[in-house]
Structure 1
Amino acid sequence: MKGDHLQRLPAIKAAKKIIEKHFPNCDGAILAGSVVRGQESSTSDLDIVVFDQKLPASYRESFLELGWPVELFCHNLESYQAFFKSDCERARPCMPRMIAEGIVLKDNGIIAGVKLEAETLLNSGPEKWDASIIKLKQYFLTDVLDDFIGTLNRSEAIFIAGTLAELAAEFVLRTNNRWIGSSKWIHRSLVEFDKDFAGAFTEAFDLFYTTNDKSKVIHIVKEILEPHGGRLFAGFYLGKGSSDN
């Protein structure tokens, strides 16, 4: 595939040709992903959501066509709602975001309603954490922070830092009623929440990875915990016959 991106068709044109070829009678189709966010790179693919009332169930398929890696997310006019529900329960709104931000490739009159559903979910934010969940997450974040502070093994610290970054990002986002993500979407979610904080967060972990200096990571994680009482160890319990600590 090396060099294929130099010959491939423009994203929207390629996506429309794919729909015309594979789903000429579908009810609607949307192009989503990095190519519609202005973040296209040589490794970008075409994320295409297809709606076809004749499909018995949803499915996902990947293939190469017109110089592009293509990922299809195929649904009938009801199956996408289960993905909306699952994504929102995980606080990772992959499908709602794809549909809300997507460019319409084809529409037989159904896309506006689906987009409105997606936008409503995104604007509502995830379900708020209650006090017991915050305390549980606070405890486990403290535990990983303590491991990070205490280890003298550089190799272990590298992996602990990865876990710490994910848990810290999740904690600050969810306690502020914001959506989370995985991989590159961790950073994107932090930027959407607070661009300056995202920069400081990234800088802290970059400093550790490049110089082994833990100080800024420790400082920023403590700051994240501070509004909720700081690090939590003594007095925490789980499964002791009470639903609340």
Structure 2
Amino acid sequence: MNDKLEPIEAAKLFINKHFPDCDGALLAGSVVRGQHTKTSDLDIVVFDKKLPTSYRESLIDFGWYIEVFAHNLISYKTFFQSDYQRARPSMPRMVAEGVILKDKGVLASIKLEAKQLLDKGPEAWSLKTIDMKRYFITDALDDLIGCTNRAEALFIANALAMDVSEFVLRTNQQWIGASKWVVRALQQYDQAFTDQFVEAFDSFYKTGNKDKIIELIDGVLKPYGGRLFEGFALGKD
């Protein structure tokens, strides 16, 4: 990235060019966390009371791919609430972590709101939800165990990885993630478990051996009653 401006310098120039009258702006994402790569972009959150609604836009400027998340001083709350309900706090995390590029006195309260939401954690799953998730994980695991088609088994394993990571995190009232944030969320919760999780699926992808995945999932489900099939019902009075 030697041919680019430094992230904060580029972000400030971008704000001065495109949002000179905004009420506040933050630089967030991987460049702030020190996790950026040569393909990373700049995530910039803008707050402007004159905007009629929130929007997202992708641009290229000052040598960077830039993702803009623009909000007025009320519309961001809808995204905070949506992220809370789906247990993926993308917007609150960007705001809480974000480095201030510009502020007319609005960001302290918004950052505090984001931090409080993150600290609160997602809503706890009900026993009914836990049982439903156990059932679907059991069903997928049975599919994997019995599968003799390598191509199909790859996609069953992919689905299991997502379902099991969600189960572990949500039953421990942790935020979940998508894509690279699946592993990051697991690491934030329990590094030792994450290592076991990655090893189990990596072993399967490399060798086709399912034993470590089966052992992992049985260990995850055991505190909640283990695999669930007989007696499970959905939609029945």
Q: Shorter-normalised TM-score: what interval?
A: over 0.9
Question: Could you tell me how far 1:6 is from its partner in structure 2?
Answer: 3.9
Alignment length, in residue pairs? 237
- Identify the match of residue 212 of structure 2 among 213, 216, 222: 216
Aligned counterpart, 1:145:
141
Counting aligned pairs with the same residue, the percent is 59
Matches within 5 A, 1:23-42: 23-42=19-38
Q: CA deviation at 1:8?
A: 1.1
TM-score, normalisation: structure 2: 0.99
- Aligned-residue RMSD, C-alpha: 0.6
The Cα of 1:7 is off from its aligned counterpart by 1.3
Shift in Å at residue 217 of structure 1?
Answer: 0.8
Structure 2 CA distance for aligned equivalents of residues 152 and 189 of structure 1:
32
* Deviation of 1:211 (Å): 1.0
Q: How does 1:51-70 map to 2 (within 5 A)?
A: 51-70=47-66
Point out where structure 1 has 5 or more consecutive residues left out of the alignment: none
Alignment correspondent of 2:203: 207
Aligned to 1:155: 151
Cα distance in 2 between the residues matched to 1:105 and 1:198:
35
AA aligned to 1:111 is: L
For 1:227, the equivalent position in structure 2 comes to: 223
Moved >6 Å (runs of 4+): none
Q: 1:186 aligns with which of 167, 178, 182?
A: 182
Is 1:13 the equivalent of 2:9? yes
Is 1:91 aligned with 2:98? no
CA shift at 1:71, angstroms? 0.3
* Counterpart residue identity of residue 26, structure 1: C
AA in 1 matched with 2:148: L
Deviation at 1:137, TM superposition (A): 0.7
TM-score calculated relative to the size of structure 1: 0.96
Q: Which runs of 5+ in 2 are unaligned?
A: none
